[in-house]
Amino acid sequence: MAYFRVTLLRSAIGLPKKTHGALAALGLRRRMNTVYHPVSQDVAGMIMKVKELVDVQEVEQPLTKTEMREMRRPDPGFYVEKRAGLGR
Amino acid sequence: MFGPFRASSPLSGGLLWKIPWRLSSPQKYRHRLRLRRVDKVVSIVDSALAKKGLSTKGLERWKDEMPKEQEMLPKDKYTVFDRKEKKYRKGIHKVPKWTRVSQRLNPPGY
């Protein structure tokens, strides 16, 4: 099943109430917030209302908050060969 | 004439913001990027719906009426119709919230 990944890039401050309403209906509360919605006509209509403010991708599976956070984690630059104190 | 207490228009008259009459070239460049970003969002939504054999009225109307960034004339990209202006055109940066609204069409003949 396909999903829309919607990220709010620009704030709707000062824009009409309907724009704020579409963002609230999508579940976008602050900038850089990401939500997943199944591909459907009503979601597409809401995205079209706020198309200037959001980034949209079509993805196969929605990611959880923890998974998205893990993807953002930078490479630590080392790996652990052996833990100390386990040789007993 | 010089110094912190000179008589300048903002000091003597209070609030004065000056908006230049034309866009600078980096402003134009960022404006084109924004137009393209909106085009990309519309095309992604369209292709995702088309895979399911769906479409919406708003999407169809946008595709019928709105030109893409590449199809737009520079005149329509960077200026808008205004009946109060000389030659009926003003810079698009004078439109309120111009970085977050889609303003692509103008009356025919102007």
Structural domain containing residue A11: 3-63
* pLDDT > 70: percent of chain B: 93
Task: Note the ipTM here.
Answer: 0.83
Q: Rounded CA gap, B60 and B36, in Å?
A: 18
Distance CA B47, CA B84 (A): 41
Residues of chain A scoring pLDDT < 70: 86-88
Which of A50, B98, A28 is closest to A36 using CA atoms?
A: A28
Overall number of domains in chain A: 1
CATH number at residue A20: 3.30.1390.20
Task: List CB contacts (< 8 A) between A28 and chain B.
Answer: none
- Chain A closest CA to B56's CA: distance in Å? 6
Is A30 a domain residue? yes
Q: Residue B38: pLDDT band by 50, 70, 90 thresholds?
A: very high
**Residue A68 within any structural domain of the chain:** no
Nearest CB to B42 within list A2, A51, A57: A51
Write the pLDDT tens digit of every residue in B73-101: 999 999 999 999 999 999 999 999 999 99
Query: Taking a C-beta distance cutoff of 8 angstroms, is the pair B108, B75 a contact?
Result: no
From B42, B48, B102, residue closest to A39, measured CB to CB: B48
Domain assignments of chain B as residue spans, ordered by start: 23-94
**Cβ contacts (< 8 Å) between A57 and chain B: which residues?**
44
